[in-house]
Amino acid sequence: MKHFAGKVAVVTGGASGLGLAMAHRFAREGMKIVLADVQQDALDRATGEFRAAGTPVIGVKVDVSKADQVEALKDATLAAFGATHILCNNAGVAPGGLAWESTAADWEWCMGVNVYGVIHGLRSFVPVMLAQGDDCHIVNTASVAGLLSPPGMAIYCVSKHAVVTLTECLHQDLVTRTDKIKASVLCPAYVPTGIADSERNRPAELRNAPKEMTPEDIAREQALKHAVQSGRIGPEQVGDMVFEGIRDERFYILTHPKIKAAIETRMQDILLERVPTDTFKPK
C-alpha cells in the first residue's frame, strides 16, 4: 500500500500495547481506526483518545477466539466505514510452563486467541478485501517464539509457529487470486507491553483451579515479566516498523535484528539434523 489517508484499519488487541501503537501510527497517516479488544475499560480509554484527537474511530469489544464475535466486528466495521484496507490480527496471550504440565484449559485459551483469532480474522475480512478490489494489507502478529523453540514456552511457541506458517500460506494463496492484497507476519522479541499479564483476561470457564506455585513457576513468571519490561524497543517503534513494512510490502517484519543469529542456528539444527539448540541459554 502507498496511499493511506481516508482508508480503514482494523486492529485486534488494539486497546493497548503493540495494537494501540499500530493504531496511533495509522491515525497519523489519516486513516480511520477500528479498535477491537476484549478489555472494555482499555477500549473505552483508547477510543476516547482517538476521538479527542479528531480521528474517526469505533471500538468493538471482541473475544477473537469466537468466530461470531469476529464476524460481528466485520459487520460493525462495514457499517461504520464501509470498507477495510488494513487488518492487524494482533490480539494475543502468553501462558508459559512445561509442555506436559500445561492444562487442557491453557491450550484451549492460548490456541483460541493466538491461532483461531487469526483464522477468524482472515475468514471474515479477506472476502471483504477481495470484493473491494482495493490495495489492502494483512499483518498477523506472531513472535520470535514463532521462529525459535525455547524451554518453558511450549504453548506460546506452538501458537506462534502456527501464525508464521499460516501467514506464509496466506501469502501463497493470495498470489493465486489477486495482486491487490499483501500480507506480513510480525515477529517481535521482547517489547514492554502487558503481554506477560495476559492472565487478567482469561475467560472464567478456562481458568485453572487454584494451586500453589512452585519456586520454578515463580522464577519462570518473574523472568518473563523482567524480560518483557526490559525490552529496548518500545511499542511505538514497533508501530513504525509495521507501518513501514506495509508501505514497503515486506513480508517478514523482524523488530530485533540481533535475534537473526538464533534463527539461523535453529535453521542449521534442522538442516544438519542435530538436536535443537537452546538459543536463549546464556553462553
Main-chain phi, psi angles of 181, to 5 degrees: -115, 120
Q: Is residue 262 part of a domain?
A: no
List, in order, residues 6 or more apart from 152 with CB less than 8 Å away.
Answer: 96, 97, 98, 220
Asked whether residue 239 is domain-assigned, the answer is yes
Residue 72: all three cell numbers together = 460481528
pLDDT given for residue 96 in this prediction: 84
Q: Whose CA is closest to 152, among 217, 225, 242?
A: 217
Q: How far apart are CA 199 and CA 216, in angstroms?
A: 18
> Cell 501458537 appears where?
159
36 located within any domain: yes
- For residue 55, CA distances in Å to 79, 92, 188 come to 17, 25, 27
Angstrom distance (rounded) from CA 144 to CA 21: 19
Residue 225 lies in a domain: yes
Per-residue pLDDT, 53? 97
Nearest alpha-carbon partner for 143 in 98, 105, 106, 198: 198
Active site residue 116: no
Give the count of domains, the chain. 1
At 196 the pLDDT is 67
Range of the structural domain that residue 231 is part of: 8-257
For residue 29, the domain's CATH number is: 3.40.50.720
The 10 Å Cβ neighbour count of residue 135 is: 18
With respect to residue 275, please indicate whether it lies within any of the assigned structural domains.
no
pLDDT (0 to 100) of residue 213:
64
Q: For residue 80, is it within any domain?
A: yes
pTM to 2 decimals?
0.90
Stretches in the chain below the pLDDT threshold 50: 226-227
Note the pLDDT of residue 116. Answer: 98
What single string gives the DSSP state of each residue in the chain?
Answer: ----TT-EEEEETTTSHHHHHHHHHHHHTT-EEEEEES-HHHHHHHHHHHHHTT--EEEEE--TT-HHHHHHHHHHHHHHHS--SEEEE-------B-TTT--HHHHHHHHIIIIIHHHHHHHHHHHHHHHHTS-EEEEEE--GGGT---TTBHHHHHHHHHHHHHHHHHHHHHHTT-SSEEEEEEE----SSSGGGGGGG--GGGPPPP-PPPHHHHHHHHHHHHHHHT-SS-HHHHHHHHHHHHHTT-SEEES-GGGHHHHHHHHHHHHTT-PPP-TTS--
Q: What is the pLDDT of residue 204?
A: 87
Residue 269 counted as domain residue: no
> 134 in a domain, yes or no?
yes
Distance in angstroms (rounded) separating the CA atoms of residues 156 and 107: 9
Q: Which amino acid is at 271?
A: L
